[in-house]
Structure formats: C-alpha cells, structure tokens
Chains A and B, each alone.
Chain A
Amino acid sequence: MSRGFQGRRREEGDSGRVPPGQYLVDDFPVLSAGPTPHTPLEEWTFTISGEVAEPKTWTWEEFRALPSETITKDIHCVTKWSKLDTVWEGVSVDTLLAEVEHDAAYVVAFCDGGYTTNLPLEDVSDGKAWIAFGYDGEPLDPEHGGPARLLVPHLYFWKSAKWVRGLRLSDHDEPGFWEALGYHMYGDPWREQRYWGD
C-alpha cells in the first residue's frame, strides 16, 4: 500500500447505482484503441445489414431527421470508473430497427477505424440503446465518439461503440474487438462480467 495515496477523486458504490468493483468519477475519461477518425458528415452513413431482408442506409441528414430523445443514464466502464447521470441525445435503435425486416438474434456494431462489438439483439431493443449524437447538450466530441456512437448503458461501456457506422445482424454471437481478446461476450456490470469465465 502506498502511504497517503488517494488517486483520482472517487467514491465506492453503496448508493445502489454503482455496480460492484466500480468507482465514481467526475470527469469523463477518454479511452481509445486507435486514432480518432474524422469522417466528414457528407460522407457519413449508418447501415443496418446482414441477416435482413434488405439492408438500409441513412445519410447524416436522414439520420438527424429521425425522432430523437434526450436521456439521462449512468455509465460503467470495465476499467472500473462509473459516471452517473450522463445526459445524451440520440435516436433510439428501435427507430432504426423498425425500418428493416429481420429475424436475427445478434448484432455486431461496426465503426470507423475497424472497431466492433457484439450484442444480443434484445439488448439494443425496447428502449435499451441509442445512436447518440449529443452529450451534455453539445454535439458529441470526436474523442468521445462523435459524430455518433452506440449507447448501451446497461452493459459495460466498451459495448457503446464509438464512431459507429452500422449494425450487422446475425443469427449467431460473433465476438468483437475486445470480446475476442478476453473480454466477456455479454458484459453485465451488475454481475461483474468483465472477462471470459466471469
């Protein structure tokens, strides 16, 4: 133990809102697996593809014309920080999924820069997930995933893929970038599912 070391300001969770093993933080740490992409909005598209009757693509204008909402959520990173009451603006993934005919059980979110993450389809449905373009009342900063990121607050935040460009629907669960390298396929912070075998 390092005498007198406190570290970043944090509190342990006993408030019932902080999952086991997590610390609360005030700032918003930036984690990245690669260079920040900078796709111009004129070139940006969002696509739902894979196990669908017909793939569907939205341009930025079409995407921003969809109904969106402001939501306040707690977020939990596998590196142990949690941040409460984060405010986002985004389009519910339900709105996007409603425009494709599908029978799939799983999705893989794919992103600029090559990052991917996998989820069961039901975890991005029924009001559990958004494609978020705003944070804290401002357009989402590129270092936090702007112009748009996937937001799935009930799972560890590596599933909330930054710089998302679409969802590929699948009938099987395919490990994404971190899931292929030891991180849990599902990632429920309340069951502390950080790594394989947890």
Chain B
Amino acid sequence: MQDMRLDGNAAAGDLEQIFAFEVTTAIGTCANCGAVGAVGGTNVYAQAPGIVVRCPACEGVLIRVAHDGDSRYWLEMTGVRSLEVRR
C-alpha cells in the first residue's frame, strides 16, 4: 500500500497554471503500457521536488511538473503518447 499516493486532482492546481483547458478530464494514453484513462484517475505523487503523475496500470511516469516557486514551470509529458481534450 502506498500511503503517499494521490489522484490526478492533486496535480490539477499546478497543471491548470500551465494548460488552458481542464486537465483532469483529458484522456491520456500511457506511452509505456498503452492504458487509456482520464488524467483525474492517475496516481499522483506530490510530496517531492515536483509533482509526478503515474499510470494507474503500470506506475510508469506520465507527466512531471516542477515549479521554482516563482514564475518558472517545467513540464514533461513524454510518458503520455497522446492526450484527448474536449472543449
């Protein structure tokens, strides 16, 4: 059991600083295992130097966000093969 594990919601605050759309309802495909699901349904590890969003099926890294506490954000999404967004 992983006590520190949270849901996609936990990343929503920071991700919404970067994206112009509501991220947790976007549907992602995991580049590692091919699992498809809403970003809201992922496993989030937020007690770190940054936020790590992992695939609920394989725990592969989907998205990472870091913030310097000021005006810079870093976003890495190589773990997401594609993202489907509805406006």
Contacts and interface: CB of A to CB of B under 8 A. Distances in A.
Is chain B in direct contact with chain A in the complex (CB below 8 A)? yes
A184 to B, nearest CB: 10
A182 B47 contact: no
A183 B54 contact: no
B39 to A, nearest CB: 17
A32 B48 contact: yes
Given A178-B66, A183-B66, A195 B47 contact: no
Interface string B42-81: 0101011110101000010100101010001010100000
B4 interface: yes
A83 interface: no
Chain A contact residues, majority secondary structure: loop
Interface string A57-88: 00000000000000000000011000000000
A145 to B, nearest CB: 13
A178 B49 contact: yes
Interface residues of A, number: 19
Q: A30, A182, A195: which has the most chain B beta carbons within 10 Å?
A: A182
Contacts of A79: 49
7 contacts: A32-B47, A33-B50, A34-B52, A34-B59, A178-B49, A181-B76, A194-B68
Interface of A: 29-36, 78-79, 114, 158, 178, 180-183, 194-195
Given A30-B4, A182-B74, A183-B66, 11 more contacts: A30-B47, A32-B45, A33-B52, A34-B54, A34-B59, A36-B2, A79-B49, A114-B61, A181-B74, A182-B50, A183-B49
